[in-house]
């Protein structure tokens, strides 16, 4: 998630407090507990929806870095200098990773630093990039071909992954509609007939039905998210 963790934690606490207060005013302690449950589960759903985005950002930033490093090698620069120049104009995640690699390379050597990077970022693209950079450190300027080849391979893989994600978009939209439809129907029914809201929020049977319905809806949303994420992986 972008930003500082403390800001997200504060926002989460504020939303949970508001949900409890509104639930208490709307239907008493049971509804307040339901509001707390919904507010508590929201961040986990958000994190699940954003799962894999950091890895995708790293993978997307690798080809430009490798190509820029290869150009630096062909211009006569050493690998550490070419890699540092390429990292300076890269995405923030890649820049921070390569800065850490540079710091470790000054202490333990570039090959050891690249091995550590591949171990800490267990992504196929990072492993390929680390292997190509290791080869370039051993063969010198001739390693630019390996870097260009790995960059091309990564771009082709990302293109295929983008097509798969595009094909999975319809399934994800259907999952969102199926998740929101029961909530929208309940809201419309309560707005059209105040007795529906009275039963759902104030009677024990209605509160039990509301809790079970929200739980099943959340379980269905998690299930569909898992299915669509597996299809797009």
Confidence of residue 29 (pLDDT cuts 50, 70, 90): low
The whole-chain average pLDDT of the chain stands at 79
pLDDT tens figures, 97-123: 888 888 888 888 888 888 998 888 888
178-184-186 Cα angle (round to 5): 110
At residue 140, does pLDDT exceed 70? no
Please, are residues 62 and 154 in contact by the beta-carbon 8 Å criterion? yes
pLDDT tens figures, 64-88: 999 998 988 888 888 888 888 888 8
Q: Which pTM was predicted?
A: 0.58
* DSSP tag of 76: T
Boundaries of every domain in the chain: 1-50, 54-160
Supply 164's token pair. Answer: 């798969």
């Amino acid at each position: 998630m972008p930003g500082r963790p403390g800001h997200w934690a504060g926002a989460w606490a504020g939303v949970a407090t508001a949900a409890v207060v509104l639930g208490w005013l709307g239907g008493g302690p049971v509804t307040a507990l339901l509001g707390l449950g919904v507010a508590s589960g929201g961040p986990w759903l958000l994190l699940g929806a954003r799962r894999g985005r950091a890895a995708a950002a790293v993978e997307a930033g690798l080809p430009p870095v490798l190509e820029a490093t290869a150009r630096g090698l062909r211009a006569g620069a050493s690998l550490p200098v070419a890699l540092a120049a390429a990292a300076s104009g890269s995405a923030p995640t890649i820049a921070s990773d390569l800065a850490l690699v540079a710091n470790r390379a000054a202490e333990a050597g570039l090959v050891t630093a690249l091995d550590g990077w591949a171990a800490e970022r267990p992504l196929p693209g990072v492993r390929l990039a680390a292997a190509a950079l290791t080869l370039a450190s051993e063969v010198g300027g001739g390693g630019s071909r390996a870097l260009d080849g790995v960059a091309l391979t990564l771009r082709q893989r990302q293109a295929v992954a983008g097509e798969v994600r595009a094909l999975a978009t319809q399934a994800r939209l259907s999952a969102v509609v199926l998740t929101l439809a029961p909530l929208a129907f309940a809201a419309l029914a309560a707005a059209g007939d105040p007795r529906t809201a009275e039963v759902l929020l104030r009677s024990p049977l209605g509160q039990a039905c509301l809790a079970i319905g929200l739980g099943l809806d959340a379980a269905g949303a998690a299930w569909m998210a898992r299915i669509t994420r597996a299809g797009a992986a």
